[in-house]
Chains A and B, each alone.
Chain A
Amino acid sequence: MKARLYLLEIATPLLAILFGAAVASLIILAIGKNPLDVYAVMVQFSLTRPDSIVSILFKTTPLIFAGLAVAVSFRAMLWNIGVEGQYYVGAVCAAYVGFAVRGLPALLHLPLCLLAAAAGGMAWAFVPIALKLRRGAHEVITTIMMNYIAAAIILYLISDVLRDPTQLGTPRVRTPLFAPSARVPSLGPFLGLLGVAVPEAGRLNWLLPVALATCVALAFVLGRTRFGYEVRAVAFSPDAAEAAGIGNDRVRFLMFMLSGALAGMVGLNDILGFFGYLDIDFPKGLGFLGISVALLAKNNPLGVIPAALLFAFLDRGAEGVQFFSQVPKEVIVILQALIILAIVVAYELLTRYIRGQRKREAESAPPLVPPTRRVSLDTAGVQEVPP
């Protein structure tokens, strides 16, 4: 029985992905292309070329941070839809520390940049959570509004205050180059030591292992520590938690700030790890993808890793599809949204099914056998609405 439930839980996301692919197939058919060919191109392009693999891994890093940021807030029954804006601000802060501070050794400078990014993300997350806890303003809309404000402010900062003076006559709008000590070192030499001699691997940087380690650390903190227990208590039974002396507001505030700090790291892979400056056209939209990643991972920090890999794969595959089969890559954007809708419906149906099963079990089995409690906690996931 338990094994079957476990199997179902793994099968659900796969079914949702299949459903998304089926609808996307209809769209591809409608524009007169063969969906199987398109998917074949996608898989072949993404998985058989070393540069594609590197590109997927490169894109996984920011998606992990974005997914973790959203998942952490969802865990506390809070809606951080503002990861997008938080990572803009984090990126600007890291960029400023990156080019304005000179003469520090990399061992100090780089952590300082990461701290600046986290602080920027937290500062941007502070406004919505403070307004929620103090004034009862729902964080969904305030975080969305903060996204637009962040976009306006960084546009101003990059094109005006922080613009590289040597680029003034040119159409390039970007900050000055960062000090070499602020650049995240490449993973290439390390991979070389391991015997992975892929020339493109130089694009990967140490933020990828940092991201993976963060997933493991968060899984430990949320799953095995006292704080993680408090978070679950506040999420599922706020009144009981409060009565037991767990301050609801304190836990919510800490989780939201943690979410903001993680969001601040989202942009670093691109600016500190690759470009070496903050351009006005730096990658956007990662915060919204983070929501999708977190939902697919069911807010499980370890589940964020495969979910981020999948979205990075879809992203890379979209480029291949656009180039080789002349199907606009927006099909993949549609596919991503459909997967999310399908996945939340599937999880909901699964939860209902399990509830029904448990009820039937409770009716047939002798009352001494306790029901499988763990499953219910896991699958209750994001369905509850925060008050």
Chain B
Amino acid sequence: MIASAIRVTMPILLAALGAVYSERGGVVNIALEGIMIVGTFFGALGDYFFAQRFPGLTQAMPDLAPLAGVVAAILAGVLIALIHALVTITFRVDQIISGVALNLLAVGVARFLNIQLFHVATQSPSVRGFDPIDLPLLRAVPALRPLATGVSPMIIVALILVFFTHWVLLRTRFGIRLRAVGENPLAADTLGINVYRMRYAGVILSGVLAGLAGAYLAIEQAHLYFEGMTQGRGFIALAAMIFGNWWPIGAMGASFLFGYFDALSLRVVRLPVPYEFITALPYIVSILVLAGFVRRAQPPAADGIPYVKEEE
């Protein structure tokens, strides 16, 4: 149960990390859901076509095909994030509107390309995942054994990314500047930090991470792309980030909470309440979290507010 909760947590966690980068820089990124959608599609696509094109290479190194999928998903995610950055930072259009439009765009693009490439509207052929690995040290501990065997390498990467992101935001020049831009862009600007460039960086990083989240869903979890597979996890990731108080480790804790309820809906078969209510649990929990029934949160001060450089 814990192992499966960790597995279903990963997409939420990765997208929530992306949200942290974007919102720490002061840009609300509702387009995370759309980025995840293109991530799932391009993840499956890259994986599938690499295996088709280079069967010999895939035979020799089976992890190359899923890796190609991950790269494709990240590139596609960055592309959507770039549009979001261009529209919201350069043109200063409302960030929520841009996100909503990009989510619609992502659905359309994934469907259209799926028809063009796979000749059906809603599903890709199945693809192979990474070879699972066993964690050598942890496996020796009997209690942790089920957690440490057959782990997807992407899970390990994601967990490392959590702590890496935390370190970046807390200790590095880039992270501190990014946070400055999200808290007080005017002050940051007067200190010579390029506000637009930092915000672009934050949004693009969120594209990388949400694309990765989509790739994980398609390549590691479902082994194929199908329409609607993200099920609003991009939005849940935003709730997780808020619950985590805009910090990576907090977002990880919150993601596990959502992952737990998500895993519940996969696991529970017989219950007095109808199955549909179990599937609605993660969304209900998100609303409760947002309503602050669990904890009050402190957003970056300039989150969601476009920055106008020149005097008008």
Residues of A whose CB lies within 8 Å of any CB of B are: 27, 31, 79, 81, 127, 131, 135-138, 140-142, 144-149, 152-153, 155-156, 160, 288, 291-292, 295, 328, 330-331, 333-334, 336-338, 340-341, 344-345, 348-349, 352, 355, 359, 382-383, 385
16 pairs across A/B with beta carbons < 8 Å? A137-B287, A140-B96, A141-B286, A145-B239, A146-B287, A149-B284, A155-B276, A156-B274, A156-B276, A291-B97, A330-B108, A337-B102, A344-B87, A344-B93, A382-B97, A383-B94
Please state if A160 and B274 are interface contacts (CB–CB under 8 Å): yes
Please state if A291 and B100 are interface contacts (CB–CB under 8 Å): yes
Q: Closest residue of chain A to B290, judged by CB?
A: A137
State in angstroms the CA–CA spacing of A356 and B187 once bound together. 25
Q: Given A142-B287, A341-B87, A148–B232 Cβ distance below 8 Å?
A: yes
Please state if B97 and A331 are interface contacts (CB–CB under 8 Å): no
**B274-295 CB contact bits vs A (8 Å, 1 = yes)?**
1111011001101100111100
Chain A neighbourhood of B100, CB < 8 A: 81, 288, 291, 340
Enumerate B87-127 residues with CB–CB distance to A below 8 Å. Answer: 87, 91-98, 100-102, 104-105, 107-109, 111-112, 115-116, 121
Q: Given A145-B286, A382-B94, A136–B105 Cβ distance below 8 Å?
A: no
Q: Closest residue of chain B to A74, judged by CB?
A: B97
Please state if A337 and B93 are interface contacts (CB–CB under 8 Å): no
Chain A neighbourhood of B107, CB < 8 A: 333
8 pairs of A and B residues whose beta carbons are closest in the complex: A333-B108, A337-B105, A156-B276, A330-B112, A152-B280, A334-B108, A137-B290, A340-B101
Checking A146, A341, A352, A355 against B101 with a beta-carbon cut-off of 8 angstroms, the contacting residue is A341
If A131-B287, A337-B101, A337-B105 are given as contacts, then 19 extra A-B residue pairs at C-beta distance below 8 Å, sorted by A number, are A136-B292, A137-B290, A137-B292, A138-B290, A141-B242, A142-B287, A145-B235, A145-B284, A155-B276, A291-B100, A328-B112, A330-B108, A331-B112, A333-B107, A336-B108, A337-B104, A344-B101, A348-B93, A352-B312
State in angstroms the CA–CA spacing of A153 and B279 once bound together. 10
Checking B231, B238, B276, B284 against A141 with a beta-carbon cut-off of 8 angstroms, the contacting residue is B238
Please state if A153 and B280 are interface contacts (CB–CB under 8 Å): yes
Please state if A152 and B277 are interface contacts (CB–CB under 8 Å): yes
State in angstroms the CA–CA spacing of A163 and B156 once bound together. 46
State in angstroms the CA–CA spacing of A147 and B304 once bound together. 23
Q: Given A142-B290, A152-B280, A383–B93 Cβ distance below 8 Å?
A: yes
State in angstroms the CA–CA spacing of A149 and B277 once bound together. 8
Checking A31, A142, A144, A333 against B232 with a beta-carbon cut-off of 8 angstroms, the contacting residue is A144
Interface size, B (range): 35 or more
B305 at the interface (CB under 8 A from A): yes
Q: Closest residue of chain B to A381, judged by CB?
A: B94
How close is B98's CB to chain A, nearest CB, in angstroms?
Answer: 7
Please state if B105 and A127 are interface contacts (CB–CB under 8 Å): no
Q: Closest residue of chain B to A131, judged by CB?
A: B291
State in angstroms the CA–CA spacing of A147 and B287 once bound together. 12
Please state if B283 and A344 are interface contacts (CB–CB under 8 Å): no
* Interface-central residue, A153, A288, A337, by most chain B CB under 10 Å: A337
Chain B neighbourhood of A341, CB < 8 A: 83, 87, 98, 101-102, 105
Please state if A333 and B104 are interface contacts (CB–CB under 8 Å): yes
How close is B156's CB to chain A, nearest CB, in angstroms?
Answer: 30
Please state if B280 and A148 are interface contacts (CB–CB under 8 Å): yes
Interface of B is mostly: helix
Enumerate B186-211 residues with CB–CB distance to A below 8 Å. Answer: none
State in angstroms the CA–CA spacing of A137 and B243 once bound together. 11
B30 at the interface (CB under 8 A from A): yes
State in angstroms the CA–CA spacing of A123 and B312 once bound together. 43
How close is A264's CB to chain B, nearest CB, in angstroms?
Answer: 20
State in angstroms the CA–CA spacing of A76 and B57 once bound together. 58
Chain B neighbourhood of A127, CB < 8 A: 287
State in angstroms the CA–CA spacing of A349 and B90 once bound together. 11
Please state if B287 and A349 are interface contacts (CB–CB under 8 Å): no
State in angstroms the CA–CA spacing of A336 and B112 once bound together. 13
Q: Closest residue of chain A to B106, judged by CB?
A: A337
State in angstroms the CA–CA spacing of A81 and B101 once bound together. 12
Chain A neighbourhood of B87, CB < 8 A: 341, 344-345
How close is A51's CB to chain B, nearest CB, in angstroms?
Answer: 25
Enumerate B143-185 residues with CB–CB distance to A below 8 Å. Answer: none
Chain B neighbourhood of A345, CB < 8 A: 87, 91, 93
Q: Closest residue of chain B to A145, judged by CB?
A: B283
Q: Closest residue of chain A to B33, judged by CB?
A: A144
Please state if B104 and A328 are interface contacts (CB–CB under 8 Å): no
Chain B neighbourhood of A140, CB < 8 A: 30, 96
How close is A247's CB to chain B, nearest CB, in angstroms?
Answer: 22
State in angstroms the CA–CA spacing of A334 and B279 once bound together. 30
Please state if A152 and B108 are interface contacts (CB–CB under 8 Å): no
Chain B neighbourhood of A155, CB < 8 A: 276
Checking B95, B279, B287 against A152 with a beta-carbon cut-off of 8 angstroms, the contacting residue is B279
Chain A neighbourhood of B276, CB < 8 A: 152-153, 155-156
Please state if B287 and A292 are interface contacts (CB–CB under 8 Å): no
Please state if B304 and A385 are interface contacts (CB–CB under 8 Å): yes
Chain B neighbourhood of A340, CB < 8 A: 97, 100-101, 104
How close is A296's CB to chain B, nearest CB, in angstroms?
Answer: 11
State in angstroms the CA–CA spacing of A353 and B92 once bound together. 14
Chain B neighbourhood of A138, CB < 8 A: 290
Q: Closest residue of chain A to B109, judged by CB?
A: A334
Q: Closest residue of chain B to A81, judged by CB?
A: B100
Chain A neighbourhood of B279, CB < 8 A: 152
How close is B265's CB to chain A, nearest CB, in angstroms?
Answer: 10
How close is B94's CB to chain A, nearest CB, in angstroms?
Answer: 6
Please state if B235 and A338 are interface contacts (CB–CB under 8 Å): no
Checking A144, A153, A331, A336 against B235 with a beta-carbon cut-off of 8 angstroms, the contacting residue is A144
State in angstroms the CA–CA spacing of A147 and B283 once bound together. 9
How close is B239's CB to chain A, nearest CB, in angstroms?
Answer: 6
Chain B neighbourhood of A31, CB < 8 A: 116
State in angstroms the CA–CA spacing of A79 and B96 once bound together. 9
Please state if B283 and A355 are interface contacts (CB–CB under 8 Å): no
